[in-house]
A and B are shown apart, each in its own frame.
Chain A
Amino acid sequence: MNYIIKIHFVILLSRQGKVRLTKWYSPYSQKERTKVIRELSGLILTRGPKLCNFVEWKGYKVVYRRYASLYFCMCIDADDNELEILEIIHHFVEILDRYFGSVCELDLIFNFHKAYYILDEILIAGEFQEPSKKTVARLIAAQDSLVETAQEQASSISNMIGQATK
Chain B
Amino acid sequence: MGSQGGWGQSKEFLDLVKSIGEARSKAEEDRIILREIDTLKRRIAEPDVPRRKMKEYLIRLVYVEMLGHDASFGYIHAVKMTHDDSLLLKRTGYLAVTLFLNEDHDLIILIVNTIQKDLRSDNYLIVCAALTAVCKLINEETIPAVLPQVVELLGHSKEAVRKKAVLALHRFYQRAPNSVSHLISNFRKRLCDNDPGVMGATLCPLFDLIKEDINSYKDLVVSFVSILKQVAERRLPKTYDYHQMPAPFIQIKLLKILALLGSGDKQASGHMYTILGDIFRKSEPSSNIGNAVLYECICCVSSIFPNPKLLEAAVEATSRFLKSDSHNLKYMGIDALGRLIKINPDIAEEHQLAVIDCLEDPDDTLKRKTFELLYKMTKSSNVEVIVDRMIDYMRSINDNHYKTEIASRCVELAEQFAPSNQWFIQTMNKVFEHAGDLVNVRVAHNLMRLIAEGFGEDDEGADSQLRSSAVDSYLCILGEPKLPSVFLQVICWVLGEYGTTDGKYSASYIIGKLCDVAEAHSTDDTVKAYTISAIMKICAFEIAVGRKVELLPECQSLIDELSASHSTDLQQRAYELQALLGLDSQAVESVMPSDASCEDIEIDKNLSFLDSFVNQSMEKGARPYIPENERSGMFNIGNFRSQYQHEASSHSLRFEAYELPKPSPPPTIPQVVLPLPTTDLVPVPEQTYPRETHHAPNLPSATDASSVDFGVKLRLEGVQRKWGRPTYSSPSASSSSSTQKTANGATHLDGRTVSSQTRDNFYDSRKQQAEVSAEKQKLAASLFGASTAKSEKRQLPTHKTPKGVPTTAEKPAVKGAISSSEPPKEKTVPSSPPPDLLDLGEPTPASTPSIDPFKQLEGLLGPTSAPSAIDHSSAAGPKTPDLMALYTDTPPAAVSSGSLNPELADIYTVNKNSHGTTNVAAMNKGQNRQDSLQKDATARQVGVTPTENNPSLFRDLLG
Contacts and interface: CB of A to CB of B under 8 A. Distances in A.
A binds B: yes
Interface of A: 1-5, 14-16, 18-19, 21-23, 27, 30, 33-34, 37, 50-56, 58-59, 67-70, 81-84, 86-88, 90-91, 93-94, 96-107, 109-114, 116-117, 120, 124-125, 127-135, 137-139, 141-148, 150-151, 155-157, 159-161, 163-166
A3 B208 contact: yes
A2 to B, nearest CB: 8
Contacts of B243: 87
Given A130-B197, A135-B197, A68 B957 contact: yes
Interface string B106-127: 0000000000000000010100
Contacts of A112: 62-63, 66
Contact of B91 (A2, A83, A137, A143): A143
A157 B87 contact: no
B205 to A, nearest CB: 9
Interface string B3-28: 11111111100100100110000000
15 contacts: A54-B328, A68-B959, A70-B957, A82-B328, A83-B295, A86-B288, A93-B957, A105-B955, A129-B163, A131-B249, A133-B239, A139-B128, A150-B87, A160-B938, A161-B938
Contact of A164 (B14, B70, B239): B14
Sorted from nearest, which 3 A-B pairs have the closest CB atoms? Answer: A155-B8, A83-B292, A67-B957
B1 A157 contact: yes
Contacts of A141: 907-908, 910-911
Given A52-B365, A87-B288, A101-B5, A127 B295 contact: no
Contact of B959 (A83, A91, A102): A102
Contact of A109 (B5, B17, B62, B136): B17
A97 B208 contact: no
Contacts of B954: 104-106
B777 interface: no
Interface string B230-258: 00000001011011000111101100110
Nearest to A134: B239
Contacts of B103: 27
A132 B250 CA distance: 10
B126 to A, nearest CB: 9
Contacts of B328: 52-54, 82-83, 86
Contacts of A109: 17, 21, 953
Contact of B125 (A19, A86, A143, A151): A143
A37 B68 CA distance: 9
Given A69-B955, A93-B957, A97-B956, 19 more contacts: A4-B204, A18-B20, A37-B68, A52-B328, A59-B401, A68-B956, A70-B957, A83-B288, A83-B328, A102-B932, A102-B956, A106-B953, A112-B63, A133-B239, A144-B2, A155-B3, A157-B934, A157-B937, A157-B938
Contacts of B271: none
Given A94-B958, A144-B3, A150 B163 contact: no
Interface residues of B, number: 123
A146 B957 contact: no
A68 B70 CA distance: 30
Contact of B366 (A27, A30, A52, A113): A52
Contact of B952 (A3, A18, A68): A68
Interface stretch (B476-484, B554-562, B586-594, B923-931): B923-931
A102 B931 contact: yes
Contact of B11 (A4, A55, A164): A164
B549 interface: no
B819 to A, nearest CB: 36
Nearest to A78: B372
Contact of B87 (A33, A111, A143, A166): A143
Contacts of A159: 6
A102 B923 CA distance: 10
Contact of A83 (B163, B289, B953): B289
A52 B6 CA distance: 36
A93 B237 CA distance: 22
A139 B86 CA distance: 17
Given A3-B208, A82-B328, A141-B907, A150 B86 contact: yes
Contact of B331 (A15, A82, A132, A142): A82
B201 interface: yes
B160 A50 contact: no
B132 A124 contact: yes
B208 A4 contact: yes
B249 A30 contact: no
B145 interface: no
A3 B87 contact: no
B935 interface: yes
A16 B950 contact: yes
A102 B167 CA distance: 31
A82 B332 contact: yes
Contacts of A84: 249, 252, 289, 292, 296
Interface stretch (B538-546, B680-688, B941-949): B941-949
B67 interface: yes
Contact of A19 (B67, B135, B248, B935): B67
A125 B67 contact: no
B275 to A, nearest CB: 18
B68 A101 contact: no
Contacts of B809: none
Contact of A104 (B200, B256, B953): B953
Contacts of B5: 100-101, 157
Contacts of B401: 58-59
B59 A129 contact: no
A145 to B, nearest CB: 7
A51 B99 CA distance: 33
Interface in B154-211: 159-160, 163-164, 167, 170-171, 174, 196-197, 200-201, 203-204, 207-208, 211
A14 B955 CA distance: 13
A132 B240 contact: yes
Contact of A67 (B174, B907, B958): B958
B204 A105 contact: no
B91 A117 contact: yes
B956 A50 contact: no
A9 to B, nearest CB: 12
B99 A146 contact: no
Interface string B637-662: 00000000000000000000000000
B163 A130 contact: yes
Nearest to B14: A164
B904 interface: yes
B955 A104 contact: yes
Contacts of B929: 102
Contacts of A151: 88
A81 B2 contact: no
Given A82-B331, A134-B904, A160 B8 contact: yes
A71 B297 CA distance: 29
A160 B11 CA distance: 9
A120 B24 CA distance: 32
A23 to B, nearest CB: 8
Contact of B167 (A117, A125, A131): A125
B950 A14 contact: yes
B68 A4 contact: no
